[in-house]
Amino acid sequence: MAIIRKSELDARRARAAAEQSALEAMSSSTSVTPSQQATGLPVRPKKARRPKKQPTGDYEVGYCRAPEETKFQKGCKPGPGRGKGNMSQASILREVLSETREVSVGGEVIKVQNRKALELVRLGKAFSGDWRQLLSLLEVAFRLFPDRAGDNSDQNGDDEPLTQTGMAILDMFAQDTLRNAQKSGGSPGRADQ
């Protein structure tokens, strides 16, 4: 255990008291939010506003006294601005993606939102052998469902091996994918083709 001298202890207490009084002085001169108080960090005081310029002489037009005809008239703005009816790009995109349309899926015509239709198109391209679309879908799936990334079991928690029918379906899919990749001249294992 370290032995602290009385003079060193007094110096530490004096420093702590000085810091506390400085914090109290700063908090009384500035508006401190409760979250800033909770952190216990010092708050920088607000800068004082620069005083408004005052004319230096007795004259009608000159320093700090613009001619009346060149000043903006009441109700007249210096620029057109965005306008009240205009929408931001984000709100336009949000509105367009939330609109519905009719899409043919497997011979059936269904109504879906545009964002779902885009995902269906991407899924269709991935199943037809487009490796870029497949990789982008897998990236999104891993980002959205990180807890299921390495999970091979179905939703019931059963961890049963694939049946012969399931294996046959996977083999047919792999053969179709290889055939499509060979037709297009690409390699099925590379995403940059």
Q: How confident is residue 2, by pLDDT bands cut at 50, 70 and 90?
A: low
Q: How confident is residue 25, by pLDDT bands cut at 50, 70 and 90?
A: low
Q: Six-digit token pair at 120?
A: 């269906």
| Residue type for position 118 | L
In the block, residue with structure tokens 């952190």: 39
Burial per residue of 157-186, b for 16 or more beta-carbon CB atoms within 10 angstroms, e otherwise: eeeeeeeeeeeeeeeeeeeebeeebeeeeb
Does the model's pTM come out above 0.75? Answer: no
Confidence (pLDDT) at 38: 61
Query: What angle do the packed helices 114-127 and 89-98 form, to 10 degrees?
Result: 70
Residues in the chain: 193
Q: How confident is residue 26, by pLDDT bands cut at 50, 70 and 90?
A: low
How far is 140 from 118, CA to CA, in rounded Å? 14
3-state secondary structure of 155: coil
Q: How confident is residue 56, by pLDDT bands cut at 50, 70 and 90?
A: confident
Confidence (pLDDT) at 99: 92
Q: How confident is residue 100, by pLDDT bands cut at 50, 70 and 90?
A: very high
